[in-house]
Structure 1
Amino acid sequence: MKTRASLLALSLLATGCGTLYPEDPLFVYGRALHADGTPLAGTTLMFERKTAYDGSTPTVSVFEPFREVTTEPDGSYTLELLVKETRSQVRDYSFSLHAFRLHRQEEDGSESWLGFNLHGGDVELPALLPWQADLHTTPTADGVMLALGAPLPTLEIPPSATSNDWTIIETDGSRHTEPNPSPPSLWLELRSGDGILWWSPSPKETLAVSRSILEDFAAPVARTSVFIDGDWTFKPMVSLNDSYLSFYVEWASASVALPSGGLVPVSRGAACEPFVDTCPLTDGKLETIKSVPLNELRVRLPTPKKLRQAVVRGFASAGHTEAVVVEGSVDGQEWTVLGRATLETRRRARNAQLTNRLGMERFLDVPLAPEAPAVTQVRLRVVGEGLMNRADFRELSLFE
């Protein structure tokens, strides 16, 4: 009986050492498993491919159904492609770096994605299996603690592949090495209805969610995502060309219900500039993103308040934002810095699928100086290079 590695080697042999032509076949091998590692046998999987986009229309590329495969008794499958089907030009601004995708959704609502590009010949994909995160909650004095009951998922490099670590060159010319595939990165996503009330990377597998983040949004739910990306090389026995695979895998847990924070910000319904009538940034709604000039974002409180926390939801700006500064004033003339949130640079390759699904918005929980006096006005100021006079927000909440 031939192993999967030997089958891949034979297919690579079959390509020979000549140039690949548009009508030549390519084979993508993979395996689908249940969460317990047993084969997902006799199951139809739908591969999607991103539509070509040439910039002639405002519509960006989307993933559309491409080709079905059926898994064998051991869970293995083979996707047959033509060389020309891997060379579609995909150029848009939807943050997805991969032209092909496989998506699975389980009965409990958990999901997994496997996206990839290939070049030069046949390749083998990472095994795709669900992640049972066992996300559970524990009440705390200031909200709720989320904890994972399972370790983060990892990937095994197939015997037919080789992997080299990445050398990263920073903007200042310095270099460092990062592992390939990347270590699993954990992200937290909170929703209320159709609105995103929070998403951010999490450095730990226990995730504290404060009442300030939950606020008084109705029926909040939480889930976690784990993201891994990488690239592998496959060297045929008889060919001058190696085969390359670039990929990502993302797992998203089933959603769990959270208690309402029951906390109404003192800024709820407060007036703000430059808006003349109702302020859309303090109305407690998450459905839309509002654009405001960067240098004129002020909130006017009805009475003086000694503030302890600012929560900025769905922030995005044009340019390289280094930090968001929260300032307070009693007269609109003299301003005191109340707090500052420094923004880390996010490498696009590290979370291409997440930014494609959730967007580039930032969610900031900014502690404010306890020694600061009560203020009647609050101003958000953005610090950075190449900033344009515009920023987008979902909501700004101030708490005393």
Structure 2
Amino acid sequence: MTTDTLSQTLVVKIGTSSLTQPETGRLALATIASLVEVLSNLRRQGHRVVLVSSGAVGVGCARLGMTERPRAIALKQAVAAVGQGRLIRIYDDFFTSLEQPIAQVLLTRSDLVQRNSYLNVERTFRQLLQLGVIPIVNENDTVAVDELKFGDNDTLSALVANLVRADWLFLLTDVDRLYSADPRNDPDAQPIVRINRMEQLHDLQISVGNPGSRWGTGGMVTKIAAAQIATGAGVRTVITNGRFPKNLEKILQGEAIGTQFEPQPRPASARKRWIAHGLVPTGKLYLDDGAVNAIRSDGRSLLAAGIVQVDGEFQSQEAVLLCERSGQEIARGIVNYRSSELQQIKGHQSDAIAAILGYPGAETVVHRDNLVLS
């Protein structure tokens, strides 16, 4: 999905706090109408647009007369099933009035973990965008299990932005930008307009406030985590106020609204983008200094000799994190051995593997083609 400056791929995520009235949890129809108008205008200008929308559980709660978001998984999934149909119906009514076709795309984490399904999802998005459709994406709460949940739609939107090779990710929330402290409590909180590298967040000692609203699941912590995923995939990311959707057009025209995160160089290979952002790591390998340097500086594969510790239980061809002795992640990749095998061969030279295991194995533990620096 290559783009030029006139035609870009935009992923817009709107959270429950922006979609609903804070007091009642009912939909904020004026905000939705404004958002639909802006997204339809952007489509007419030639941009490719994906909307990641929360709200299914909140809408389901309102529909069923519930006053609090359910905590029990089965109840939450049932409420989401009630709310999702209602939510997409409302979107369809609004978009249809502007003659803009939409599609509903419900994803679970497992859709992105398996390489074949990841590619299938990628092809589906590509076709929808080529048809001029606006996909409306949500997590499939009705069937998702804890082990394979995105956890929040901020993370989902960042992974979708990576999947469609977006130019922009807009995270619409209930504050206008990041601040040095919570502006609702601290009158001296300073606005932060631009983040050039994620390390700035530590330098600025940014306050991320509470974990989310009464009706939502996210908060500033998840938005910063999403920005880290997206910028690492080469996507410029903006946190801004969801109550003013028209700001999207102003930001695209160059106005300094919200907090912008500068993108990092985009991984060249689609496979490496999948390894970096599609897979869920199931274990950790701690490496000696020589292996860390060989991977980080020389772009080499990981050999058994460089491993000092193996954490977690995993199978061959699953994703693992590669870490320094301190635990700092340096890369992630697809491993060629089970964890039980690595416990036996760690620290040993490759030519000793067959004698230790009793059968020949791969020379590399993680081949450089299946490895992505963090």
TM-score between the two structures when normalised by the length of structure 2: 0.27
Higher helix share: 2
TM-score between the two structures when normalised by the length of structure 1: 0.26
